[in-house]
Amino acid sequence: MAADLALELPGGGYPILVRHEAVAECAARVAEIAGAASVIVISDETVWALHGPTLLGALGAVGVQAAPLTVPPGEAAKDLAIVARLYDEAFAAGVDRGTILVAFGGGVVGDVAGFVAATLLRGLRFVQVPTTLLAQVDSSVGGKVGVNHARGKNLIGAFHQPALVFADTAWLRTLPPRSLRAGLAEVVKHGLVARPALLAEAPAALRAWERGEPEAMALLVASAIEVKAEVVRGDVFEAGQRALLNLGHTLGHAIEAAHPGVLEHGEAVALGIACAAERSEVRGLVSPAERQVVLETLAACGLDTAWRPWISPSVLDKVANDKKIRGQYVNDVLLSGLGRCQIDSVTLAAWRRTVTGLAADPVEA
């Protein structure tokens, strides 16, 4: 299965290639972009131990001698101290303004390496080679890069588009099942924002993948990327519609920030989506049956939807640090159907009241 997609943007877009088992082509594409320039690969220690030699070998076969730099696995790598170390190591490896950075890993690597690419020497070209489902369907596309701050997630960053996204589902074979399921939360999110067919396709692709049939997963990745690319194309700097992709993220980010390292990003987003679906029903924006479809879809993807136990003063405090807060207003996202969402701008106090109220007084299933 091969899908050649693109994100067209004013001033030039970039190809997004979805493949299964195509490391040689990936290396050839990187070589083509680099030309005579040097290449630095940034990965995390886990991905590098599993797949570094394969990628380096493929790059070597097309004449690219890449310098590898690694960061520790996990969210803690999204840190300015790590970025500073990567700057030092890149200089030691001889980086210049023509150098191509390759982000080889999950969303964490893509965000950190992309931030290095956005800032080092006032901006380097970079290639996203995502190795988690979440990174393939979401974070590698759209150019949001950055790191966390003690006050909250993703508070330091930039918009810096890659020169190429090369999503090869073969890398997912070594992904722990838990991380694969977490990635499906972002697929469900894309379905709820714009493509309801994904709601049935996501659990079906998971089942097929578990049976050793990769085709449906590659198709799912391509379909989910199309949604992301379409939304980003219409609103590159998140002045409007792109904010709909934050469905489930206000609560999800707050849970992640209050309990670092406990949940994967996609797992926290799934809890946020479940809460948003219930709030949408209370507001009369979706029917009880539609809310039930959302919860059942997440559950069929192996994701927990029991968000109530996570509501605590520390989680509610973290919502105040969300980067979508404007003044006292939270720009959250609610469903207005299956495949349609809307921005819900409410005061922080009202948001907290609604969520704590709903947590104490569940909607009947």
Ligand X SMILES: NC(=O)c1ccc[n+]([C@@H]2O[C@H](COP(=O)([O-])OP(=O)(O)OC[C@H]3O[C@@H](n4cnc5c(N)ncnc54)[C@H](O)[C@@H]3O)[C@@H](O)[C@H]2O)c1
Q: Which positions lie near ligand X, rule CB under 6 A?
A: 44, 46-47, 50, 73-75, 78, 105-109, 111, 131-132, 134-135, 138-139, 142, 144, 153-154, 171-172, 174-175, 179, 182, 264-266
Q: Does residue 171 sit in helix, strand or coil?
A: helix
Q: What burial letters (b/e) apply to 96-119, b meaning 16+ CB within 10 Å? A: eeebbbbbbbbbbbbbbbbbbbbb
How crowded is residue 286: how many other Cβ atoms within 10 Å of its Cβ?
A: 25
**Min dist. Cβ of residue 251 to ligand X (A):** 14
**Min dist. Cβ of residue 343 to ligand X (A):** 18
**Min dist. Cβ of residue 154 to ligand X (A):** 6
10 Å CB burial of residue 65 (0-12, 13-18, 19+) is exposed
Q: Quick one: 35 or 212, whose CB is closer to ligand X? A: 212
Q: Quick one: 47 or 358, whose CB is closer to ligand X? A: 47
Q: Quick one: 201 or 256, whose CB is closer to ligand X? A: 256
d(CA 279, CA 227): 24
Q: Quick one: 68 or 358, whose CB is closer to ligand X? A: 68
d(CA 279, CA 274): 9
**Min dist. Cβ of residue 145 to ligand X (A):** 6
**Min dist. Cβ of residue 319 to ligand X (A):** 16
Phi, psi (degrees; rounded to nearest 5) at 207: -60, -45
**Min dist. Cβ of residue 363 to ligand X (A):** 28
Q: Quick one: 111 or 201, whose CB is closer to ligand X? A: 111
DSSP per residue, 255-299: HHHHSTTTS-HHHHHHHHHHHHHHHHHHTTSS-HHHHHHHHHHHH
- Tokens representing 271? 């809890």
Q: Quick one: 132 or 297, whose CB is closer to ligand X? A: 132
Return all residues near 132 (Cβ < 8 A) that are at least 6 apart.
105, 106, 107, 172, 175, 179, 183
Q: Quick one: 70 or 293, whose CB is closer to ligand X? A: 70
Within the chain, what is the greatest distance between any pair of CA atoms?
Answer: 63
Q: Does residue 131 sit in helix, strand or coil?
A: coil
Phi, psi (degrees; rounded to nearest 5) at 51: -125, -5
**Min dist. Cβ of residue 77 to ligand X (A):** 8
**Min dist. Cβ of residue 234 to ligand X (A):** 16
Q: Quick one: 118 or 285, whose CB is closer to ligand X? A: 118
The number of angstroms, rounded, from the C-alpha of 2 to the middle of its chain's C-alpha atoms is 21
Q: Does residue 45 sit in helix, strand or coil?
A: helix
